[in-house]
Amino acid sequence: MKKFSIFVLWALLVVACGGGDDDSDGVTVKKDQISIAQNLELLGDGEAKEMPIRATCDWRITKDDGADWLTVNPMSGDKDTKSILVSASKNSTGVARTAILTINGGDAQTQRVVVTQAKSSDNQDPTSSGEPSADDNLPPT
């Protein structure tokens, strides 16, 4: 009888302590994952680049307001989607520009990609582009 009581006590202890995969201890385990590069640089004269994406769930991309210069295709996908195409038109603003892509899906951690585009070569400083400046014609002092 004593052995039976010890066995019942042991069984109750195992059941009470758990051992399953539930998150009753307050820890949330994310099962879905999304993996993508965190930075992308594009040429100022316009460029398109393919970015690999790995996901175990359906996902969707949103981009910053005002990032109409940036095109992303596709804007959503699933675990079978292997890449996205990010392209930018020519940057005639005279300064580099930046946008953030936000990728969400399932219970995966949100991913962000910072896309930076240099200014167009038409907007470069003439002294930095190798073209002669007015000072180049001055005699040495």
pLDDT > 70? residue 127: no
Task: Convert the pLDDT of each residue in 88-117 to its tens digit.
Answer: 999 999 999 999 999 999 999 999 999 999
- Is residue 130 assigned to a domain? no
Q: How long a stretch of residues is the chain?
A: 141
Average pLDDT, integer, range 39-66: 95
- Is residue 131 assigned to a domain? no
Domain span including residue 109: 31-122
With a threshold of 0.85, does the pTM exceed it? no
Which token pair is 99? 């946008």
What is the count of structural domains for the chain? 1
- Is residue 55 assigned to a domain? yes
| Alpha helices in the chain, H assignment, sequence order | 2-17
pLDDT > 50? residue 130: no
Task: Convert the pLDDT of each residue in 77-86 to its tens digit.
Answer: 999 889 999 9
- Is residue 14 assigned to a domain? no
Q: Which residues of 47-75 are buried (b: 16+ CB within 10 A; e: fewer)?
A: bebeeebebbbebebebeeebebbebeee
**CATH code of the domain covering residue 91:** 2.60.40.10
